[in-house]
Structure 1
Amino acid sequence: MIKLRKILDKAYEDINRLNLKKRCNQFSNLNGCCKWDYSLISSEEESEISDFLEKNIEIYEKVIENKKNESTCYFHDKINKKCLIEKVRPICCRYISYKIYEKEDCFKSCSPTNPCQKEKSTVISVSKEDVYVESEYIKYIILNNEKIYFIDDKSIPEYVEYKKNQNIKLSKVINK
């Protein structure tokens, strides 16, 4: 898991350097990307988050309060605009807006130009022939005459292995 995080962190840094403009991410988008039970994590991540919350009761209480208030993401601190579990944030949360997802007939990704809306999806579809390889883990599209870069997680063997074990709902860590 540590090796995978390092690979993804490097790809994330490369994308931010290549894109030149700051993109929507889980900290800049006040609507958030998460919808309660939507996000899946691995058992290792579940243990890390559970241990973190047990050691940080004040944070755990904020998470429970968010759940009671039906916040979009239970782990988002709306006042400070940051992730309450940033140090142990799961992979699914760290890179969501930087990933491109290969589907049967196209690629899909979060829009690099339109932040998410609570009720309105801003996911874009791009034909496969309009997606180009930049490097081992990075692909790009051309949008408004500008290259927009994404992490291609399926090209990372460690991520493919991680996905096999990503089967626990993130909300489970607070439902114990």
Structure 2
Amino acid sequence: MDLNFEKTGGLIPAIIQDEQTGKVLMLGYMNEEAIAKTQETGKVTFFSRTKNRLWTKGETSGNFLMLKSMVADCDRDTLLVKADPVGPACHTGADTCFNEENTKGVSFLNQLGSVIKGRRENPSESSYTSKLFARGINKVAQKVGEEAVEVVIEAKDDNRNLFLNEAADLLFHLMVLLEAKDASLPEVVEVLEARHK
């Protein structure tokens, strides 16, 4: 990365974002050495202005930030670091330094999609998903149909828990079918967004 350290006095602000949830976890500062160590170790490392030294987040608490990607902004004077947090990001014990909850919510579906893709590419004999892929596209599509019928049946009753579980089964099997067809949930979202315009 060609960063402009002169403009910022040798330290570049680094916005740390959870790769899975998109939530901003914290802000730190990096010099060239901190960036190099982050890239070398895979653990986000800052230059601590109070300690006047390199500081790897989690070096005492064990709550590391595992590097996923790092990009500079258009002015080359700020970094966006996407990471996988191992525990809370803030020294106070909060999920973020802005006292926000860092929950996966709907973005968990991206993680689930990755797991499903992994089961297809690296089959495991103990994995239900791998076994489903092995049975072929017709069986995968059939399971989506079966789960859709079960959702309709549960929708007519008043058991919210059963309805939500059947809806989860339907969504899961739909994601398996999408993967089997080399498609993804984000692509479906793009279609919905285009329709909304």
For the criterion TM > 0.5, the same-fold answer is no
**When the two structures are superposed, what TM-score results if normalisation uses the length of structure 1?**
0.23
Q: Which has the larger radius of gyration?
A: 2
Q: RCO (CA 8 Å, sep 6+): is it higher in 1 or 2?
A: 1
**When the two structures are superposed, what TM-score results if normalisation uses the length of structure 2?**
0.21
